[in-house]
Amino acid sequence: MKIQLFVPCYIDQFYPQTAQNTLEILERVGCEVSYNPDQTCCGQPAFNSGYWSETRYLAEKFFRDFSPETPIVSPSGSCAGFIKRHYHKLFTDDAEKQALCRRIADNMFELSDFLVNRLKIEDVGAEFPHKVTFHESCSALREYGIKEEPFKLLSHVRGLELVEMEESDTCCGFGGTFSVKNTDISSAMVEKKVRNAMATGAEFIVSTEASCLMNINGYLLKHKLPMRGIHLADILNSKK
């Protein structure tokens, strides 16, 4: 199957290995992957901050960078969910762009959703002999709609022990600009998230969202705690 790879800007800049791992997973399961190096941000930060004209510009660039006829796969439910659920709001007076938004939305996939529901693959041959717990990102869970898919994939990773933490589906406190505008509240939220994760005895906290992991890892490193956040794609491409 031919697919297009969309790498969110923050993964491109801060977690390029996650992008590489996503590419290798998709190729291993038989996809012919194309990557357009001209791609940039989907516009979500600008949209959430109220800069809709700037977001519209980025959306139109996205339309030029990606074909609406071929599946677009991304290691981010947040960005994929934003494109699927909100792009159409930018073009309410343009019927042609509305139709394009619908076509793009129908072919926009988060990685675990694409593997489990489109390709019907749950075992990608990974091996990760560690105890982990899972953080369910707000945007991935509530906006995109990911729920069981990551757990199905993790259940087939050899050597991995998955332990559920309390309130796994509560926010980590990142929320994009929320963590900047409401620093004290954000700090309290990530502290609670980490405390719940640490109580499981896990070595790693896993998520589909690099943005959440950036926030969580910041707290873990600051307080020198013996746990690390890791993206689902990094586990799915791991070997002993």
Q: What's the CA gap between 223 and 26, in Å, rounded?
A: 36
Q: What is the mean pLDDT of the chain?
A: 94
Task: Tell me the per-residue pLDDT of 145-159, one tens digit each, with 9 for 90 and over.
Answer: 999 999 999 999 999
Q: What's the CA gap between 113 and 134, in Å, rounded?
A: 16
SS3 69: coil
Q: Do the beta carbons of residue 194 and residue 227 sit within 8 Å?
A: yes
How many of the other CB atoms lie within 10 Å of CB of 138? 18
pLDDT at 97: 97
Task: Tell me the per-residue pLDDT of 31-48, one tens digit each, with 9 for 90 and over.
Answer: 999 999 999 999 999 998
Interior/surface letters 164-187, b for 16+ CB within 10 angstroms, e for the rest: ebeebeebbbbbbeebeeeeeebb
**186 pLDDT exceeds 90?**
no
Task: Tell me the per-residue pLDDT of 4-31, one tens digit each, with 9 for 90 and over.
Answer: 999 999 999 999 999 999 999 999 999 9
Supply the pTM of this predicted model. Answer: 0.94
Residue 5, CA distances (Å) to 20, 94, 121 in order:
10, 27, 18
Q: Do the beta carbons of residue 238 and residue 127 sit within 8 Å?
A: yes
Task: Tell me the per-residue pLDDT of 214-238, one tens digit each, with 9 for 90 and over.
Answer: 899 999 999 999 999 999 999 999 9
**180 pLDDT exceeds 70?**
no
pLDDT at 176: 61
